Structure formats: structure tokens, C-alpha cells
Amino acid sequence: MAFEYLKALHIIFVITWFAGLFYIVRLFIYQAEALEKPEYEKNILSPQLNLMAQRLWYIITWPSAILTLIFGFGVLFYRWGYMQLGFMHAKLGFVLLLYIYHFICHKIYKDLQSGKAKWTSTQLRMWNEVATVLLFAIVFLIVLKSLISVVWGIAGLLALSILMMLGIKWYKKIREKGNE
């Protein structure tokens, strides 16, 4: 029974962590765009967006990342035999990449909180897709327990991501043309 509780808690905190990661990058986009606004708009938008980012990052996203790790170790302890299987090594590799993504987001967060936008809103939109690719890879690996299925799944997701990026660029051109 303890295993089921650990697994449920692990899944819950994975979900809240991803929700935080997806939304924080959206806030980064808004923060970066707010820094490009005229001074009077920037003075209104930036403090509110900074507060929203701070609450999301430290109240939801960071605690969820830590609790995901703790409960993940608990689940792995109960299923230690999975460590002998290749899919688990690959899954843990993607999880490591997800934590690296999280730490890079933390750097972006710190920069934006201090009023420095080192990434453009377009770059941040593309950055947001990295979390989606990692989510797909991790879920496919843990559910299908097959590396080849993940390769096909990620290939399809990357194709979809490229189409989405092209759509974003097309929408940006239309939006800029409408502002002329």
C-alpha cells in the first residue's frame, strides 16, 4: 500500500511541477515583452508580472520539483529492479535534462526579476517547447518501457513543434503587420 501512495504523490508533484514550468516560461515571455514597453507601461506591468513569477516559482514550481525528486526516489526504491532495464536509464537521463531545464529557467527567472531580458519573447516561446518534448519522452518511456517507441514519439513531437514554431512566426508577422 505504501508504494501506491508514493507513486500517487510522485505523479501529483510531476503534474504540478510541469504546470509550473509551462506557466513560468509564459510569464517570462510577458516579462520580456513588458521590458520593451514604454516606461509608464513597464512601470505598471513589470512589478505585477514579477510578483506573479515569484509566487509561481517559489510556492509551486520549486517545491514540486523537490517533492517529485523525493517521491521519485521512493518509487524507484520499491521498483529497484527497473534499474536493470534500459528504458529506466533513458527515462532518468531525460529527468536529468528536465532538472537542467529547471535550473536554466531559474537563471532566466533571476535575470528577469532584476529587469534584464537576455532572451527574446520568440526565444522563450521556443524554450517552452523543450519542456513539452521532455514530458513526452518521459511519459512514453515510463508507460511503454520501450526506447524505439520514444524515438518515434519524439520525432513526431519535434515535427509538430517545428510546425508550431512556423505558426508562431507567421502569427507574429500578422500581428506586427496589424500594428502598422
Annotated binding site: 10, 91
Q: Binding site for heme: which residues?
A: 10, 91
Which own/partner pairs from 62-65 qualify as long-range (CB within 8 Å, at least 24 positions apart)?
Answer: 64/13, 64/14, 64/16, 64/17, 64/19, 64/20, 65/17, 65/20, 65/99, 65/102
Cβ neighbours of residue 140 closer than 8 Å, sequence gap 6 or more: 149, 150, 153, 154
Contacts of residue 110, Cβ cutoff 8 Å, sequence gap at least 6: none
Q: Which amino acid is at 102?
A: H
11 closest CA partner among 55, 63, 75, 77 = 75
DSSP-assigned states of every residue in 17-36: HHHHHHHHHHHHHHHHHHHT
